[in-house]
Amino acid sequence: MSILSKLMSVAAAAGAMVVFGLPAANAADYQLNVSTALTAEDPIYQGLEQFRQRVSERTDGKVEVRLFPSSQLGKDEDVLEQARAGANVAVLVDPGRLAVFVKDMGVLGGPYLADGFQGYRKVVTSPLFDKWTEELRKASGHQILSMNWWQGSRNVLTQKPVTKPEDLSGVRMRTPGAPVWMETIRAMGATPTPMGWGEVYPAMQQNVIDAAEAQDTAVYGARLYEVAKHYTKTGHIGLITGLVTSAQWFDSLPQEFQTVLKEEALSGGDVASKATEDAEAKVDADMEKAGLSIDKIDVTPFKEATAGVYEKLGYADLKKEIDEVLAK
């Protein structure tokens, strides 16, 4: 066979690989598509970018992480279902969405559970949380890579000043639909109203709801300061989130790649959390300039009003276990 014929044969083979979808020689052996409802401008995204880059570096490009902000892959619940089916996807999600599979995880969305990021990080890196991670694998087929992605303390966004639970009486407040979140908002005096995050701006603008609750960076990113007058620092829920993927897909990886994903998810979560904390003062200043009143109050009445949530939802004993973890 002539050299030209050999080259033509190689070219034809390469073309066949493209046509039939076979991997090219320089393609990654594994690919993970990561979804988040947050925008690429959110400080959390800095951690996702680091995660993508470090995984590629430590696996010599054999594991490729692709990022999809703004729910490009669908709602969080839909991506979780794809992961259950074994798809190569992961989603940045709060533990409340996982509580339908492992009830104990819902406690992480409870009111005034811990003090800031370091407190929550202590819980989600504890043997107690490791036990829940294993239970989740068995119950739903999900694999948690890390749960230390701090999005901040959630506060109340209203049209009228708020200083005590009585001020929220009759107020329709948007919140995620997880039971612990809804019960917390109810205990705070408002009427919990579940709806998608993307619907909050028009719903407040059109008076479908009276209020919302979210962390500073999310309020800023969604421009909710344009449709509300007061942002009261209740800090009622600490929003800790994590990267959750398919256990089936994760188990298909070589052991060393599994270790890389877990280690870099934890490292990325720390970077994202620091970026979130650093961004809070700036976004608050920008929202105040735009006309939003940012009100700091004594949160004691709200702590007292929500103290019974844990017992009501069957988390009283578990709350004691978490208090013991935090005390160590």
pLDDT digits (tens, 9 = 90+) for 23-82: 433 468 999 999 998 889 899 999 999 999 999 999 999 999 999 998 999 989 999 999
Q: Is the pLDDT of residue 312 over 90?
A: yes
Mean pLDDT of 211-236: 96
State the pLDDT at residue 177.
Answer: 83
Closest Cα partner for 240 from 74, 77, 122, 103?
122
Q: How far is CA 304 from CA 72, 113, 163, 164, in A?
A: 40, 13, 13, 11
Query: Strand, helix or coil at 251?
Result: helix
Instruction: Report the alpha-carbon distance of residue 166 to residue 212 in Å, rounded.
Output: 16
Q: What is the pLDDT of residues 70-83, one digit of tens each?
A: 899 998 999 999 99
What token pair was written down for 192? 């919990």
* Cβ atoms of 83 and 91 closer than 8 Å: yes
Q: What is the pLDDT of residues 95-112, one digit of tens each?
A: 988 999 999 999 999 999
- pTM, two decimal places: 0.86
* Cβ atoms of 34 and 88 closer than 8 Å: no
State the pLDDT at residue 147.
Answer: 98
Calculate the CA dihedral of residues 300, 305, 308, 313 and round it to 10 degrees: -120
The domain segmentation of the chain, as residue ranges, is 3-327
State the pLDDT at residue 39.
Answer: 87
CB atoms closer than 10 angstroms to residue 71: 19
The phi and psi torsions of 59 (rounded to 5 degrees) equal -110, 10
Amino acid letter for position 249: W
Task: Give 287's Cβ-side CA count (13 Å radius).
Answer: 29
Instruction: Report the alpha-carbon distance of residue 81 to residue 140 in Å, rounded.
Output: 9
The CATH superfamily of 3-327 is Bacterial extracellular solute-binding protein, family 7 (3.40.190.170)
